[in-house]
Structure formats: structure tokens, C-alpha cells
Amino acid sequence: MEDSGGGGRPLLLIHGNSSCRQVFARQFQSDLAARYRLIAFDLPGHGASDDAPDPFRTYSLPGLADCAVEILERLQISEAVVLGWSLGGHVAIEMLSRFKGMKGLILTGTPPIRRGGFAEGFVSAPADGFAGRRHLSEAEVETFAGLMFGTPVEPFLREAISRADGRCRQGLFEAARAGLGVDQRLAVEGSALPIAVINGEADPLIRLAYLDGVAYANLWDGRCHRLDGAGHAAFWHAAGAFNPLLSRFLAELERGRQV
């Protein structure tokens, strides 16, 4: 786990499928780390975290959400803002009903999907691609990393994908097909919590038009933000544009402003 120790409100950052907490390095290296308490951790089966002893229980959106809530409880954090990237955003949406102290939500690279409707928010069904595959060859790792993070592929991300427990990739979609987890579209359309949606306008994996059609109950700035030239990991390749938006959202939350 990484904790910036900043003096402001805690911000929990949750990484994507087969990734690791280091993806948020450009947030930890910014002035956000001093102004807010940034916290990032490796999901079970990822990075420095152990593989799940009970994959069936843990490798699902509810299971990963429970892990994130447990992290906050262990840190004795009762209120926090949550930022989720890709899979991390789906986990964060699942937390809405589990963590009553959530004060704001930032989604990036995450289409809120209906129960059983993964395909509609994505360019192609993720369960049929690398995201749902238990075993990946070296070439597949390279391609997956490029789609997730852009090129050139960062070595740490290639290593993170190779390290990730493939049972998690497989289990996530098996759990979704079994009906585990909330209807995420209904969750964000029914939540009064301020939600910021920030994506790369060149994201190769998600359907941005789908996001525009979601009737968020409390969408920050009244629109989904798109960052020019950025792909699926907008917070990395467009950190210079992403971080100021994140900072403004957090500052407005501090002032108690509602959309």
C-alpha cells in the first residue's frame, strides 16, 4: 500500500484489471499528494498483494469492493473520496452501498454497466478478450498492456500483467455472468453522490457515447469530461490535464458544492 500522508481528505485510488498501484505515480508525484491523503493499494492477486485464498469469494466485484472497504477500515478512515480506473471504477461503484462514508466518486475508463450487460459499454466484449482470459502469452501481455496503457508499454505494467493472478480475470466475468454485483448503471443514476467522469477522448476500449447516455443523478459539471489525445489511462498520459480536474473536483467537495 502507498499513503502520501497529505493533510486533506483521503482519496482512495483503485487500479484496473491486471494492473497495480504504481499506475497512479503521476498523482503521487504531484501537489495533490501534499494537499490530500492519497492512498493506493494492490487488489488481491495483483502487484505486491497475495493471491486470494478463496478465489470464488474474492474475485468478483463485490469481493474486491469488500477488500477496498476493509483497507479503509484498517486505516480507521470513515470518510473518503474514491477514484477508480477501469476495473477499479467498477469496484468503486460497487462500494456505493458498502461504504457509507464515500463523499465523492471519480470514474475514469469505466462505463457503469447494467447487470449482465458488460458488452454495451465497451467497444468489444471484455470477457472475450484479454481482460477475461486466465492465461496470457508474452505477446498477449504486450498487446493487453498497449490497449490498457498506451504505447510505448511501460515495463512496470508489463510486469504487473504477467504477475496478476489469471484466476481473477477469469473469475470476474464468471461472477458477473452469475449475477453477482449491483446494476451499476442504476447505482449511479440513483445516487445523490457527486460523480466526476473523466476519460480520454481516444480510449480504444470503452464507448464514450454510452457514457454520455447514462443519466447520472449528480454528474459533476453536468457533463462527462474528455481529455484530448488520451487513451484508456488518461490520468497517466494526460496527467497535466487530468490532475487539475481532479484537484478542482476535490476542492469543490471540500467547499460542499453540489452539482
Q: pLDDT value at position 117?
A: 67
Determine, yes or no, domain membership for 210: yes
Residue 173 falls within a domain, yes or no? yes
In single-letter form, the type of residue at position 62 comes to P
Per residue in 53-112, pLDDT (tens digit) is 999 999 999 999 999 999 999 999 999 999 999 999 999 999 999 999 999 999 999 999
**Phi and psi for 186 in degrees, rounded to 5?**
-65, -35
- What's the total number of domains in the chain? 1
Specify if 244 maps to a domain.
Answer: yes
pLDDT single digits (tens) 183-222: 999 999 999 999 999 999 999 999 999 999 999 999 999 9
We report the CATH number of the domain holding residue 144 as 3.40.50.1820
Task: Express each pLDDT in 131-188 by its tens digit.
Answer: 999 999 999 999 999 999 988 888 999 999 999 999 999 999 999 889 899 999 999 9
pLDDT of residue 259: 42
Calpha distance 159→144 (Å, rounded): 12
Question: Higher model confidence: residue 129 or residue 216?
Answer: 216
CA–CA distance, 116 with 183 (Å, rounded to integer): 8
In this predicted structure, the answer to whether residue 241 has a pLDDT above a threshold of 50 is: yes
| Residue 31 placed within a domain | yes
150 falls within a domain: yes
Task: Please tell me the distance from the alpha carbon of residue 4 to that of residue 29, in angstroms, as a whole number.
Answer: 9
Query: Does the residue 259 lie in any domain?
Result: no
Is there a domain that residue 18 lies in?
yes
Q: Can you give the pLDDT at residue 258?
A: 44
Q: Determine the straight-line distance between the first and last CA of the chain, rounded to whole angstroms.
A: 32
Full residue range of the structural domain in which residue 82 is found: 2-254
DSSP string, 211-231: HHT---TTBGGGS-EEETT--
Residue 121 within any structural domain of the chain? yes
Which pLDDT band, with edges at 50, 70 and 90, does 127 fall under? Answer: low
Q: Which residues contact 259 (CB under 8 A, 6 or more apart)?
A: 194, 218, 219, 220, 221, 222
CB atoms within 10 A of CB 187: 18
- Integer Cα distance of 90 and 88 in angstroms: 5
Q: Flag whether pLDDT at 254 surpasses 70.
A: yes
Q: Tell me, what amino acid is at 205?
A: L
